[in-house]
Amino acid sequence: MLSEFKNEPLTDFNKPDNKAAMEAALGKVQSEIGREYPLVIGGQHITGLKTFDSINPSHKSQVLGKFQKGTTPHVEQAIDAAWNAFESWKKASVDTRAGLLVKTAALLRERKHEFSATMVLEVGKTWAEADADTAEAIDFCEFYAREAYRWGGEQPITKIAGEDNELVYLPLGVGAVIPPWNFPLAIMAGMTTAAAVTGNCVILKPSSDAPWIAWRFFALLEEAGMPAGVVNFVSGSGGEVGDPLIQHPRIRFISFTGSKEVGLHINEEAAKPRKGQIWIKRVVAEMGGKDAIIIDRETKNLDEAAAAAVASAFGFQGQKCSACSRLIVDEAVYDKIVPLVAEKTKALKIGAAEAADSQIGPVVNEKAMKKIKEYIDKGSKEGRLVAGGNVRPDEGFFIEPTVIADVAEDATISQEEIFGPVLAIIKAKDFDDALRIANGTEFGLTGAVFTDNEEKIRRAEEEFFVGNLYINRKCTGALVGVHPFGGFNMSGTDSKAGGRDYLGLFLQAKAMSRKKKAAAQPAGVGE
């Protein structure tokens, strides 16, 4: 049996040995820049196609690697390979499947800085953010390995006389895993391993902004002993790979993390039965948020609350579905909070992600940079700009962390997901008003409340309608097993990744009943 699950510790880069190890990892990963990577379908490596580039957002002229542009025929080939592999993989023991995840976690732990360094270069995560991403990926592997035993073991059912009854969970079949670029290792690994450890086979379509880290993890699965075809690596565009996958009649499930717009598109397409389809496709979707932190007048430590708001808003440049994008402040402390938040925001150090002292790196690409700047320009007219607001596009895709105060609750930047380093501060009359404002969007992912009033805490627990609520702490940083993650409303299907419900999304239950034979009569009875 496996030991009790424990979260992977984060790395303290203030220690010289850890800093040196990360610098060495960056050097190693940088030495691999410029290679070309294949599709892998049923163990076959496929090259010679048109390619696209993975770009370093800190240094936009630097091409990190070239990736194949998969096509619709490759999707068909991958689905065939996955169903072929499924015939044996579904029969593999829990020991085999969970063992694959444990071995993968061990290899990932040995090379964690190399994986973190890859994210530093590919998506612009600072050292600390990348390290947390890698730790979470290790956690997903370890946690789901242990959960596989629970779902694969004897299930509690009511006993009756005269029958032997059993409930077992079976894998769904072949599915599509479509991960995001913002947690390109952790979420991608979690979605992929959850499907595989429950006996399913997968076509992994990595984000086109983060194919390099996905490739590195896929290669690790192969090294850990994953049979060919269990996970198939098919990079490419949404039109050539994504849509054919989600529309295909032989795809049983779709696991997606990304924007509301794409998630709704996937849900709509998955709901349409295609010729030859014999099931209702299952969609697991996590689609973002417009998360709020409330700071109540009965908060003793306003400095701590302001620091938590800044950390929640600007960690990984605000490119988290859990990021605080609305700070709702009681009018009694509003004039104290705004300058505190502005001061802490202005103190953040912007720089290339590979620099050890950078606190704010680039946003992921030029399109994102331009879109975020449009929101900043609009928001500056809707409120009062108190920090940031400028774009620094010379070397990479950099945007100053931006705070806009005096924003109306129905303003554009109060309602639309920006997915960048922009924080709107909204004044509330009191706690009732703050809760009303917090619930006043179409999303419901994360939220936080700062108050020292226990009754208000109780009310927030009952009335703040989010999937993950935090009290007197930041609204980001969910830990696997500790904070099962997923939200309400347009934030998705409340999948609760990293929780005890999650593997059930990739399984179907079968109840089996057998009538007991009547006991044999002893010889001589009845004569």
Query: Tens digit of pLDDT for each residue in 165-207?
Result: 999 999 999 999 999 999 999 999 999 999 999 999 999 999 9
Mean pLDDT of the chain: 97
pLDDT value at 438 more than 70: yes
Q: Which of 141, 201, 321, 475 is catalytic?
A: 321
Query: Tens digit of pLDDT for each residue in 259-278?
Result: 999 999 999 999 999 999 99
Q: Which of 129, 136, 286, 417 is catalytic?
A: 286
What pLDDT, on a 0 to 100 scale, did the predictor assign at position 527?
45
Tell me the percentage of the chain whose pLDDT exceeds 90: 97
| 136 flagged as catalytic | no
pTM here is 0.96
Instruction: Give the pLDDT band (50/70/90) at residue 521.
Output: low
pLDDT value at 519 more than 80: no
What pLDDT, on a 0 to 100 scale, did the predictor assign at position 394?
82
Query: Tens digit of pLDDT for each residue in 230-253?
Result: 999 999 999 999 999 999 999 999
Cβ proximity of 89 and 42 under 8 Å:
no
Partnered with residue 404 across adjacent β-strands are 385, 424
* CA 452/CA 472 separation, integer angstroms: 8
Number of H helices, E strands in the chain: 15, 23
Domains of the chain in start order, with CATH, are 38-287+492-511 (3.40.605.10), 291-471 (3.40.309.10)
pLDDT value at 522 more than 70: no
Tell me phi and psi for residue 348, to 5 degrees: -70, 135
pLDDT value at 10 more than 70: yes
Both tokens of residue 169?
């969970």
What pLDDT, on a 0 to 100 scale, did the predictor assign at position 111?
98
pLDDT value at 526 more than 70: no
DSSP-assigned states of every residue in 380-412: HHHSEEEE---EE-SSS-EE--EEEES--TTSH
What pLDDT, on a 0 to 100 scale, did the predictor assign at position 523?
64
Query: Tens digit of pLDDT for each residue in 447-459?
Result: 999 999 999 999 9
| 321 flagged as catalytic | yes
